[in-house]
Structure 1
Amino acid sequence: MKYGIALFPSKKVQDFANSYRKRYDSHYSLIPPHLTLKSTFEASDEEISTIVKELRKIAADTEPIPLKITKFSSFYPVNNVIYLKVEPNETLKKLHKQFYSGIFTDKPEYAFVPHITIGQSLSDAEHSDIYGQLKMQKVYFEETVDRFHLLYQLDNGSWTVYETFLVGKEQE
């Protein structure tokens, strides 16, 4: 089964992101706005129970996660993705690093750029037009998130929460 690890911003940020995602993001109906901490990976039922135990340890050792969203940005020319930029911080970097070390033996495909995708699968012309408009807008959100989520992919391609991990608290 396919899994991933992400955190969800507040409803206010999700509503803001979704106001764009419903028009520009081909994955709008598959997953709510999120910040990916570990991209898609395969795991068996046996492996996932070990992973869940490890995630509980990581969560207990993690402070609440500050998020500062400051602007629209893009991964162009690598790909035509438009996103809300989340300023990197030590907590996010540490989490990302932990999700690619220890029992997690895979390596990230890209350098870690904290972001919330709002547009993807855009043609070059669409990307240029939309990004040209969005990058002139002022964006600022600042909040703290107290949990991250292990997600799994359903047969229809959508993602749902397998388990939620509160940070800074011992899990039962």
Structure 2
Amino acid sequence: MNYSVAIFPSEHVQQEANSYRKRYDSAYALIKPHMKVRQPFPLNEEDDLIDAVSELKRIARETAPFSYQIEKVSTFAPAHNTLYFKVTPSEELKTLHEKLYHGFFEGEKAYAFIPHITIAQNLSNGEYADLHGTLKLKQFQYEEQATQFHLLQEQEDGKWTVKETFTLGEE
């Protein structure tokens, strides 16, 4: 089974993201708007899951709640026709990301950490150009609070569900 770790933004930001995702995100039905802080990783044994949860509890306990800003729409073009809400990478967010690649979660990073919330992906060149042209003119300014992160589990149908939630700074 594949797992990942993500932070869900506020309901307001999720609604804003979904207003675009419904039409432009091929993964709309698979997962709600989120900021991934650990790329997917496999856990094959029940003991591995128990160890992962234990380590995530430790990381959450040692991580204080923090704020982060969403400042605009950005893109992964030309590599991918993907648009996203760009999250300013605070020190706390970068530290959490690093913790999720050490110890039990040791692993290679497939990509540089670019915190974001996807709002459109797998677009044709025409769709991408139209939507990007419209969205780059709009203001998106949100101050968000991260108080939890979530262990997500990929289901056989490709949907991601919350396996467990971890509250930051909680004993």
TM-score, with length taken from structure 1: 0.96
List, as ranges, runs of 4+ consecutive aligned residues in structure 1 with deviation greater than 3 Å.
Answer: none
Letter in 1 for 2:65: P
**SS in structure 2 at match of 1:84:** strand
Identity rate, percent: 47
Residue 155 of structure 1 deviates from its aligned partner by: 1.2
Aligned to 2:155: 154
Aligned to 1:106: 107
Q: Deviations 1:28-68 (Å, cap 9, x if unpaired)?
A: 01100000001111002211110110000000000113121
**SS in structure 2 at match of 1:148:** strand
Distance 1:52 1:137 in 2: 40
Letter in 1 for 2:39: S
Aligned to 2:61: 60
Query: What is the root-mean-square deviation in Å for CA atoms of aligned residues?
Result: 0.8
Letter in 2 for 1:83: Y
Q: Name the count of aligned residue pairs.
A: 170
Aligned to 2:3: 3
TM-score, with length taken from structure 2: 0.97
Letter in 2 for 1:127: Y
**SS in structure 2 at match of 1:103:** helix
Is the deviation greater in 37-46 or in 52-61? 37-46
Distance 1:28 1:160 in 2: 13
Distance 1:100 1:59 in 2: 14
Aligned to 2:23: 23
Structure 2 residues without counterparts, runs of 5 or longer:
none
Structure 1 residues without counterparts, runs of 5 or longer:
none
Distance 1:42 1:85 in 2: 27
Distance 1:79 1:20 in 2: 17
Distance 2:80 2:66 in 1: 28
